[in-house]
Every structure is written in C-alpha cells, then in structure tokens.
Amino acid sequence: MTYNLILKYLLVGNMGCGKSTISAHYTNNHMPINAIPTIGVEFYSKKIIKQVGGKTYSIKMQIWDTSGQERYRGIIRTYYRNVHCAFIVFNLSSRADFNSIQLWYDELVPRVNNKCKIVLIGNKRDTLSKTIRRPDLLETIDRLDVPYFEICAKNYKELDRVFDAIHSSFIDDAGRREAAKAEDKSIVCSHCAIL
Ligand SMILES: Nc1nc2c(ncn2[C@@H]2O[C@H](COP(=O)(O)OP(=O)(O)O)[C@@H](O)[C@H]2O)c(=O)[nH]1
Ligand SMILES: [Mg+2]
C-alpha cells in the first residue's frame, strides 16, 4: 500500500539569501538562476518515493519561493495559510539577514496554521566571511526553539539532507496518527494531507 503525502513548503528571508537557489536546486530545476530577484512568489514542485518502516510513501512537495522584497508582502501573505513547513532562510555572511530572522519569525507565526513547522536555514556555508558570532546564532536558535540547518544551496547532498529530515518528521507524524487510529483514539489532523 502506498500512502500519499502532500507537503506544502514556503521559503522566506531577505533578498539574496539563496531562497530561489535552494528551491531550484532541490527540485532539479536546472534553469539558470540569474541575478533577477524573485517577483512575488514562484512555484516549484517535486515528487519522491520514500520507504519507512515497511511502508511506501509517495511525497508530493509544493514549494513556494517568495521574494524578500517588502512591496510583495501582501501577495506573499496569501500563501502562508496552508503551509506545512515554512523555512526562514538567512545568509551566514550577512549581519542584516541575521538581524531579520526575528522579523521573519514574527511575520510568519501569527499568519501560518498553528501546526506549521518553522525551520531556520543558514545558507552560504561555503562563503568564508561568516560574520555571525556562534553564541549569537545559538542564542537565536534557542530563543525561537526551531530546528536549524546550515547549508550551501549549491550542494545537492546538503539540500537533500535538509528536506529529507523535514519529510521524515511529517512521516513520523502521519505514522503516529495511523497508530492512534488503529487504537481507536481518534487524533485527526486535517492539516497534513495523508490520503
Ligand atoms: N556562495 C554561495 N552563493 C549562493 C548560495 N546560495 C545562493 N547563492 C548565490 O546568491 C545569489 C542570490 O541567490 P538567490 O537564490 O537569487 O537569492 P534569493 O533572493 O533569496 O532568492 C545568487 O547569485 C546565488 O548564486 C550558496 O550557498 N553559496
Ligand atoms: Mg529569489
């Protein structure tokens, strides 16, 4: 039996932090990512099959890549509501990006579904000029209490590792719901679409 899982992901963060690169590379969209900033919202999708605990999951991802520009905020907010996981991306070499993490968190939290997972991604790990002090970063992760990944968006393996960890957490949630159903404790989650 194959379980179908539809996962909607959203990427937010300041302009230039690497959201479009992450989205395009992860979904194997080999279109050249030029220097033109994203206008409003761009859509990417990817389908993968994953075997977990003897079960097969067909996972369809919908990835909404947003523009970091303030003037598109109104349009972007219309995409927040049904998202399963929102990624706050920042450039590890940018103090301004780091200072905006809290702003992006405050932007998302009141607007996303209360079951939406929020994940922090420090991108451009490969750049030498990491300007953010480690203790400051750790304090932020602790304060927001979110999973944190450090990546280079040009490294496909690192991207796979991040998204795989996120899918796995949704599969675990789905497994727990299945187990609860089997025990007739009906915990029904309408948010994560397991069909
Ligand atoms: N060195 C390095 N450059 C990156 C990385 N991710 C993105 N970039 C570059 O940063 C610039 C902005 O990336 P983009 O994905 O358009 O950022 P967005 O505005 O957040 O969508 C582009 O020139 C990318 O090639 C990374 O991990 N390392
Ligand atoms: Mg972009």
Residue type, 51: Q
Q: Which residue's CA is the nearest one to ligand 1's atom 12?
A: 16
CATH code of 84's domain = 3.40.50.300
The helix/strand/coil state of 96 is: helix
Pick the closest to residue 60 from 2, 1, 106 (CA basis).
2
Percentage of the chain modeled with pLDDT above 90:
65
In the predicted model, what is the mean pLDDT of the chain? Answer: 87
What mean pLDDT do residues 171-187 have?
70
pLDDT tens for 37-59 read: 677 899 999 999 998 888 899 99
Q: What is the pLDDT of residue 32?
A: 54
Which residues have beta carbons under 5 A from ligand 2 (an ion)?
19-20, 38
Residue 48's domain comprises 5-194
Residue 185 has pLDDT above 60, yes or no: no
What mean pLDDT do residues 9-31 have?
90
Q: Which run of H or of E encompasses 11? A: strand 2-12
180 Cβ partners below 8 Å, 6+ apart?
186, 187
Range in 83-92, 140-149, 184-193 the model is least confident about: 184-193
Q: What is the pLDDT of residue 36?
A: 66
Based on the structure, what is the number of domains in the chain? 1
- First-residue to last-residue Cα distance in the chain: 11
Buried-state track 78-105, b at ≥16 Cβ within 10 A, e below 16: ebbeebbbbbbbbbbbbeebbebbeebb
Whole-Å CA distances, 50 to 42, 43, 55, 181, 195 = 26, 23, 8, 22, 16
Q: What is the pLDDT of residue 191?
A: 45
Q: Taking CB atoms and a 6 Å cutoff, what residues make up the pocket around ligand 1?
A: 13, 15-21, 33, 37-38, 68, 123-124, 126-127, 152-154
In a mutational test of the pocket of ligand 1, which residue from 10, 14, 19, 21 has the highest number of ligand atoms less than 8 Å from its CB? 21
The rounded distance, in Å, linking the Cα atoms of 33 and 148 is 25
